[in-house]
């Protein structure tokens, strides 16, 4: 019986395990090897690790965790969670099952990209979603945004002070008159045709649209969606927020006693959505671990 099983070893799960290890709580950390920033070469906006390859960040974290005797890491997927607080059973893809008093969901999210040929190959390398993470690298350059919606206007507002110019490429459908007016007011060019395909060219990207072909330094994706990577939230019937995220309290507690969550997959109801970043995910993992430590340290009501 572990004190906690932590499902997911991105920034959220790694930090959860570190905090539990430092408090001499037993923790089993599970990793199926599917990271949201898997294709990314350099992560940014992470103090003291700005520009570090995410794979190096994870390798360093794993090496540091190996120093804590009560933390065990296994590269295997969790498939199912049964039981209740103080006795959960987590079934693993290798056929085994492990038991824990608490479970932390840190399984992250998946980016569902719009169906533009070539986009998947550029994702995380020359096509991005987060200006905080990747905007500065396009300072003074011409970029494109895929998708022409209200989210596009939001991206334009954030990227305008950084880049030289922005061309909006409609994806799948043309913008509504209302959205078009907002985008035109923002001073960007909206390409009149729907985008056909994108491809790497030199250091940048070639966008093919309506028989025309344009070169940009990089792309930001406004069309697209995010969904839970694992099905545990559904399986356990957890309370969800309009953003599609798991609802948690200040210490990562979900609506199911003993099940906590941390990282991109969860946030508090006071926020409109997850603040998806390495630091925020790690911070959420630290809070979830602190929540577990407090729960387990609390005297039993009858003691």
Under 8 Å between Cβ of 106 and 265 = yes
Q: Closest separation between CB of residue 35 and ligand FAD, Å?
A: 4
Q: Closest separation between CB of residue 176 and ligand FAD, Å?
A: 27
Give the pair of three-digit tokens for residue 87.
Answer: 């006795």
- Rounded to whole angstroms, the Cα distance separating 80 from 91 reads 5
Under 8 Å between Cβ of 142 and 216 = yes
CA separation, residue 241 to residues 113, 148, 235 (Å): 22, 25, 16
Residue identified by tokens 């790497």 is 200
Q: Closest separation between CB of residue 232 and ligand FAD, Å?
A: 7
Q: Closest separation between CB of residue 262 and ligand FAD, Å?
A: 7
**Cβ-based nearer residue to ligand FAD, 21 or 263:** 263
**Cβ-based nearer residue to ligand FAD, 122 or 190:** 122
Nearest residue to 246 via CA among 195, 284, 198, 219: 284
**Cβ-based nearer residue to ligand FAD, 177 or 203:** 203
Q: Closest separation between CB of residue 3 and ligand FAD, Å?
A: 18
What would the DSSP string read from start to end of 223-277? S-EEEESSSHHHHHT--B-TTSPEE--TT-B-SSTTEEE-STTEE-TTSSS---S
**Cβ-based nearer residue to ligand FAD, 255 or 280:** 280
What would the DSSP string read from start to end of 116-157? -TTHHHHBTTTEES-HHHHTGGGTTSEEEEE--SHHHHHHHH
- Rounded to whole angstroms, the Cα distance separating 48 from 110 reads 27
Q: Which residues bind ligand FAD (CB under 6 A)?
A: 7-13, 30-37, 40, 43-46, 77-78, 106-108, 111, 124, 128-130, 133, 229-230, 263-264, 276-279, 281
Under 8 Å between Cβ of 181 and 158 = no
Q: Closest separation between CB of residue 47 and ligand FAD, Å?
A: 10
**Cβ-based nearer residue to ligand FAD, 143 or 190:** 143
Q: Closest separation between CB of residue 145 and ligand FAD, Å?
A: 15
**Cβ-based nearer residue to ligand FAD, 96 or 176:** 96
Within 10 angstroms of residue 234's Cβ, the number of other Cβ atoms is 10
Q: Closest separation between CB of residue 211 and ligand FAD, Å?
A: 30
**Cβ-based nearer residue to ligand FAD, 118 or 175:** 118
The CA radius of gyration of the chain, in Å to the nearest whole number, is: 21
- Rounded to whole angstroms, the Cα distance separating 134 from 138 reads 8
**Cβ-based nearer residue to ligand FAD, 145 or 276:** 276
């Amino acid at each position: 019986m572990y004190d906690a099983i932590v499902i997911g070893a991105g920034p959220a799960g790694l930090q959860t395990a570190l905090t539990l290890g430092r408090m001499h709580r037993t923790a089993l950390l599970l990793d199926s090897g599917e990271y949201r920033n898997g294709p990314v070469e350099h992560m940014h906006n992470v103090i003291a690790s700005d520009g570090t390859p995410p794979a190096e960040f994870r390798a360093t974290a794993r090496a540091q965790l190996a120093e804590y005797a009560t933390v065990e890491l296994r590269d295997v997927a969790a498939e199912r969670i049964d039981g209740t607080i103080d006795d959960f059973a987590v079934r693993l893809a290798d056929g085994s099952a492990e038991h824990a008093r608490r479970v932390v969901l840190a399984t992250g999210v998946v980016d569902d990209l719009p169906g533009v040929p070539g986009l998947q190959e550029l994702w995380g390398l020359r096509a991005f979603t987060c200006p905080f993470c990747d905007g500065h690298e396009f300072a003074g350059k011409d970029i494109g945004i895929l998708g022409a919606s209200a989210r596009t206007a939001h991206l334009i507002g954030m990227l305008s002070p950084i880049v030289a110019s922005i061309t909006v490429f409609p994806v799948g459908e043309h913008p509504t008159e209302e959205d078009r007016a907002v985008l035109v007011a923002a001073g960007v060019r909206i390409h009149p045709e729907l985008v056909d395909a994108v491809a790497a060219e030199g250091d940048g990207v070639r966008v093919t649209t309506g028989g025309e072909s344009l070169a940009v330094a990089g792309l930001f994706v406004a069309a697209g969606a995010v969904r839970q990577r694992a099905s545990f939230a559904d399986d356990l019937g957890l309370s969800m927020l309009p953003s599609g995220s798991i609802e948690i309290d200040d210490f990562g507690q979900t609506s199911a006693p003993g099940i906590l969550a941390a990282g991109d997959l969860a946030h508090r109801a006071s926020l409109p959505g997850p603040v998806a970043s390495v630091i925020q995910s790690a911070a959420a993992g630290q809070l979830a671990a602190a929540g577990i430590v407090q729960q387990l340290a609390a005297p039993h009501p009858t003691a």
